[in-house]
Chain A
């Protein structure tokens, strides 16, 4: 299964950096997310997670390092977490970690909301 690597581009900081590694079973998404065509950007990422959980079926660690996402992006992040929860419910080994800025109290509320909506446990780690 191919990996997904999307590097951050200074001219378009509204796209996050993405690194989905099927060999290591580690996914990371970092930076900011407030692009215009949200579904177009996130659709391949959602497809990748579905394929990994359907075909590879190995442990998966998902690291969120997003410092800002708009409400459109939050809908697609919710979809990613839903797929991960479904995998977990089918005995898949999933760890979700959210690295957050301690100076951004609103991010904790966002993460709590994601947990309540999906039922998945999100581990919190302070960004250094």
Chain B
């Protein structure tokens, strides 16, 4: 990270239950407040939705936000740097899922764009109709960003770990 990289502007952050209403509102708000070209804005919007929905669906920390409606809890932060945007999310995961998640992210980071698209097609066609899983969302995020997934998993207790993910989107 060079000196200019230190001058980051926090654009948005949130910690709590990531409901669909909230995500929809914020993702459309992003379109209003970020002044950049349409291609970049579109990618940022798509990455925002994919990653926050992954937190919402797969966080091991869940809260009932309305009667009968549960939502995953986690956080996100969007920073703007001089040459790129950095979007990060974090949430609790089941400790048993840590190995699979590490394997998936490592595989994604090792592949070229063309091979990522092959993996995306294979993963999608093999997915169960009712649950496509978090994997394809991570593949799509990597394809859209053109950068590798910067992830970390740390042990919390005997049942849970904490998953953080950052992705860079060049301007």
Taking beta carbons and an 8 Å cutoff, which residues of A are in contact with B? 12-14, 34-36, 39, 68, 70-72, 74-76, 78-79, 103-106, 109, 113, 116-117
Q: Does B124 contact A (CB under 8 A)?
A: yes
Are A76's CB and B140's CB within 8 A? no
Q: Using a CB-CB cutoff of 8 Å, which residues 122-171 of chain B contact chain A? A: 124-125, 127, 129-130, 132, 136-137, 140, 143-144
Are B127's CB and A75's CB within 8 A? yes
Are B124's CB and A74's CB within 8 A? yes
Are A103's CB and B38's CB within 8 A? yes
Residues of chain B within 8 A (CB-CB) of A71 are 50, 124, 132, 136-137, 140
Residues of chain A within 8 A (CB-CB) of B144 are 106
A113 vs B119: C-alpha distance in the bound complex, in angstroms?
11
Task: Closest A residue to B140 by CB, please name it.
Answer: A71
Summarize B's interface: helix, strand, loop or mixed.
helix
For residue B111, give the distance in angstroms from its CB to the closest CB of chain A. Answer: 15
Taking beta carbons and an 8 Å cutoff, which residues of B are in contact with A? 20-21, 24, 28, 38-39, 42-43, 45-46, 49-50, 53, 56, 117, 120-121, 124-125, 127, 129-130, 132, 136-137, 140, 143-144
Are A34's CB and B49's CB within 8 A? yes
For residue A119, give the distance in angstroms from its CB to the closest CB of chain B. Answer: 12
Contacts A71-B136, A106-B42, A117-B125 aside, 14 further interface pairs with beta carbons under 8 A come to A12-B24, A35-B20, A36-B20, A68-B42, A68-B46, A70-B46, A70-B49, A71-B140, A72-B53, A75-B129, A104-B39, A106-B43, A109-B117, A117-B124
A106 vs B50: C-alpha distance in the bound complex, in angstroms?
15
Task: Closest B residue to A105 by CB, please name it.
Answer: B39
The 6 A-B pairs at the shortest CB distance, nearest first, are namely: A71-B136, A103-B38, A75-B132, A39-B130, A71-B137, A36-B20
Residues of chain A within 8 A (CB-CB) of B132 are 71-72, 75
Are B39's CB and A103's CB within 8 A? yes
Are A70's CB and B137's CB within 8 A? yes
Whether A104 touches B49, Cβ cut-off 8 Å, given contacts A14-B20, A70-B137, A75-B127, is no
